[in-house]
Structure 1
Amino acid sequence: MGRKIAIMGAGAVGAYCGAHMVREGEDVTFIDAWPEHVEKMRQGLHITGTTPEEEFTVPVRALHLNEVQQLSKEAPIDIAFVCPKSYDTAWSTMMIAQYLAPGGFVVSLQNCMNEETIAGVVGWGKTLGCIASQISVELYEPAHVHRGVKKGGAAHTVFRVGEVHGRITDRAREVCRLVAYGDSAKVTDNLWGERWSKLVANCMQNGLSACTGMSGNEMVKTDAIRHFSARLGSEAIRIGQALGYALEDILHIDPEVLARAGEGDAEATKAVDAQRLAEAGKRAGGQRPSMGQDMVKGRRTEIEFLNGFVVRKGAEVGLQARANATLTDLVKKVERGELKADPKHITELRLN
């Protein structure tokens, strides 16, 4: 207790985690670029979920970007959670870095692999990572975050906190304690493997939702899209293996089984289909992955930091990622207004 915490980019994940910290008595300052969201948070940050017990409203301290300079007159920040979209990582880190305590550090609580970008600003010694796995939160309106899946609890560890060097440290345990207010958490010695595994899961879902307009369940229940999703995952898995990452289960599926399914293995495909359809039956029907939400809201997507990132890393190790490259191109066309979101972009796709 007593540490000063900043949430830089109070979107769905940042606001959700920070609200739980505040409710438990932690000293948290929320910083965000959306003026209406900041003003509403000052009246109370509202959290809802799949059960009545998850609903609460907590008053929080929230700052507009132009008010961050107030921090120079206060005790410095001990832990800064950087939580914006990946394309805003560098400037967000730079903004909060000048207010860090001498022993302060930055935690990437984001999709994608942004630790290197953060380290480019504050150094590797002040950089940690935290993966939020299958959290399914959405900022429905200013100061209202809804979680569309039940809490992971013992069945699924949602938060995985790790040092870039893989050692278990006191500060990693401290971050784990903080995020555990929101759901199950652990400290991992495999940050990079955890990161790439989460990246694979995102690559299988986010861009597909953005270019088709479909919810997560709708995509899983459509054979052609589910199988294309497996191909996306397979390419990313093979590239992650070539990069030397020790991959964890992806969507509760062994990565090797998922990779073989994407490569056309009938037995693996049957196993993956059964698992994914079973999982879809447990989720609320209309929840879109985050990039699908961004497309509906007219926001810039993270496609170049997900599927596009896989393509670029594949080129480094001499592996093609044709499905990921195709999806990246489709999402960018929808984002620019050249195409409308439509399942036909995938169901009618012919890709050797």
Structure 2
Amino acid sequence: MTGASLKQSPRIAFLGTGAQGASIAADFAAAGLDVTFIDQWPAHIEAIRDKGITVNLPTRSFNVRVPALHLCQVAEIKQPFDLIFLVVKAYDTLWASHLAKSVLAEDGFIVGLQNGMTHEEIASVVGHHRTIGAVIEIASNMWVPGITNRQNDHDESWFALGALDPAQQHRVEGVAEILRHSGRVEVVDDIRSAKWMKLVVNAAELIPSAIIDTALNDAARAPGMLDVMREAGYEAMRAALADGATIMPIIGMPPSMSNDPERYVDEIFAEVLKTFSREDTLTTSLQDWRKGRRAEVREVNGWVVDILRAHGQAAPVNQRVVEIALEIEAGLIRPDQRNIALLKSDLQPAGAERA
């Protein structure tokens, strides 16, 4: 993979083929691309080998046969991949990047289709020149091995891509062309800010709605929750700006008509609820908890707390979200709508001044 374009038939792997990764990789396979599934769920890989991967969309379903490997089989790969899409949990980024590096072509890219600010962690393993940062906005779920349920079809799915090394930015469009088999794709020069904007809305939605054990839209309608979710997003925006990010449109939105950071948070939040969520959409965090797994608590809300602390500022709502979430993961309390009272305990009254 050299020059301004990709190879005509690049070798592609998806490391992490859960609900999101499987649906995107299946789109690639259906388009005739050379794509390999790699996953840590043994039953999932065996189901794909037996019956292919099935993708259920709102108005259609399809099945496609694909090569599928267990993690332990990565050591058997003889020919490196030109593109590796990393679609694992943010907390799995470091080990997954090391695994991917072992089978990545010298001029290949790892593309982190993940929540959180994982791009620098990937780059710390494979180098900035081989890292493409990404933002993903799709709603999906997976409960049965070999079957993924994606709630957004092509035109309702959105991605942003950008190189970490400016010298490689001219090559990103070739990756975007491939990813457009699965949705709308924008190539951006400031992928770091784009990822911050996504983290802002994730801080408002993922863990807060999981804490009260309900679908995202129901959480936003629950008495008192919208204020909590918005304040978590406002704190995240303050963290983004303190960290040097620029406010920019994401998820296909037009540029904001307002210079008010909080108004912009509200706009992004509303667009996610309107365009990318169904009435039964569960955030990835609640899905993780219902499967007995931990969620991306420290990597999203915890990130906000850490960044603001480093700049001498507090993030009381995000701190409360983290505390409650970790108590849930420790088995001390359960996700429940009664937790709204716990979340509201650090919410300032409307009109109160911020320090």
Among residues 145, 149, 153, which one is paired with 2:152 in the alignment? 149
Alignment of 1:228-239 (within 5 A): 228-239=228-239
State how far apart, in whole Å, the 2-side matches of 1:68 and 1:165 are: 27
Amino acid in structure 2 at the alignment position of 1:50: P
Indicate yes or no: 2:14 matched with 1:11: no
* 1:278/1:333 CA distance change after superposition, 3 Å: closer
Q: Deviations over 1:130-177 (max 9, x none)?
A: 2112x1011232111111235445xxx701111124567343112211
State how far apart, in whole Å, the 2-side matches of 1:335 and 1:22 are: 36
State how far apart, in whole Å, the 2-side matches of 1:17 and 1:277 are: 22
The alpha carbon displacement at 1:286 in A equals: 1.3
The alpha carbon displacement at 1:227 in A equals: 1.1
Among residues 46, 49, 68, which one is paired with 2:57 in the alignment? 49
The alpha carbon displacement at 1:344 in A equals: 2.0
TM (norm. structure 1) is 0.88
The alpha carbon displacement at 1:224 in A equals: 0.8
Contact 2:128–2:165 (CA under 8 A) maintained in structure 1: no
Classify the secondary structure of the residue corresponding to 1:286: coil
State how far apart, in whole Å, the 1-side matches of 2:250 and 2:38 are: 32
Among residues 69, 78, 95, which one is paired with 2:82 in the alignment? 78
Indicate yes or no: 2:191 matched with 1:191: yes
Equivalent residue, structure 2, for 1:325: 319
Aligned length: 335
Indicate yes or no: 2:345 matched with 1:350: yes
Amino acid in structure 2 at the alignment position of 1:118: I
Contact 2:139–2:276 (CA under 8 A) maintained in structure 1: no
Equivalent residue, structure 2, for 1:161: 161
Q: Deviations over 1:295-330 (max 9, x none)?
A: 111111110000001110111222211100100110
Indicate yes or no: 2:317 matched with 1:313: no
Q: Deviations over 1:261-310 (max 9, x none)?
A: 98xxxxxxxxx499839945984211101001111111111100000011
Equivalent residue, structure 1, for 2:122: 118
Contact 1:29–1:62 (CA under 8 A) maintained in structure 2: yes
Contact 1:201–1:250 (CA under 8 A) maintained in structure 2: no
Indicate yes or no: 2:111 matched with 1:103: no
Classify the secondary structure of the residue corresponding to 2:54: strand
State how far apart, in whole Å, the 2-side matches of 1:344 and 1:144 are: 33
State how far apart, in whole Å, the 1-side matches of 2:30 and 2:66 are: 9
Classify the secondary structure of the residue corresponding to 1:51: coil
Amino acid in structure 2 at the alignment position of 1:111: N
The alpha carbon displacement at 1:81 in A equals: 1.0
The gaps in structure 2 that reach 5 residues or longer are 1-7, 349-355
Classify the secondary structure of the residue corresponding to 1:338: coil
* 1:48/1:91 CA distance change after superposition, 3 Å: same
State how far apart, in whole Å, the 1-side matches of 2:276 and 2:12 are: 34
Amino acid in structure 1 at the alignment position of 2:39: D
Classify the secondary structure of the residue corresponding to 2:116: coil
Amino acid in structure 2 at the alignment position of 1:107: V
* 1:178/1:260 CA distance change after superposition, 3 Å: closer
Equivalent residue, structure 2, for 1:302: 296
* 1:303/1:145 CA distance change after superposition, 3 Å: same
Q: Deviations over 1:82-101 (max 9, x none)?
A: 11111111111111211122
State how far apart, in whole Å, the 2-side matches of 1:274 and 1:162 are: 20
Classify the secondary structure of the residue corresponding to 2:83: strand
State how far apart, in whole Å, the 2-side matches of 1:277 and 1:198 are: 12
Amino acid in structure 2 at the alignment position of 1:323: V
* 1:281/1:22 CA distance change after superposition, 3 Å: closer
State how far apart, in whole Å, the 1-side matches of 2:140 and 2:227 are: 25
* 1:148/1:188 CA distance change after superposition, 3 Å: same
Classify the secondary structure of the residue corresponding to 1:66: helix
Indicate yes or no: 2:128 matched with 1:128: no
Higher alpha-carbon deviation: 252-261 or 108-117: 252-261
Indicate yes or no: 2:30 matched with 1:27: no
Equivalent residue, structure 2, for 1:38: 45
Contact 1:162–1:168 (CA under 8 A) maintained in structure 2: no
State how far apart, in whole Å, the 2-side matches of 1:65 and 1:258 are: 43
State how far apart, in whole Å, the 2-side matches of 1:9 and 1:179 are: 16
Aligned-residue CA RMSD in angstroms?
A: 2.4
* 1:63/1:278 CA distance change after superposition, 3 Å: closer
Contact 1:220–1:276 (CA under 8 A) maintained in structure 2: no
TM (norm. structure 2) is 0.88
Contact 2:213–2:286 (CA under 8 A) maintained in structure 1: yes
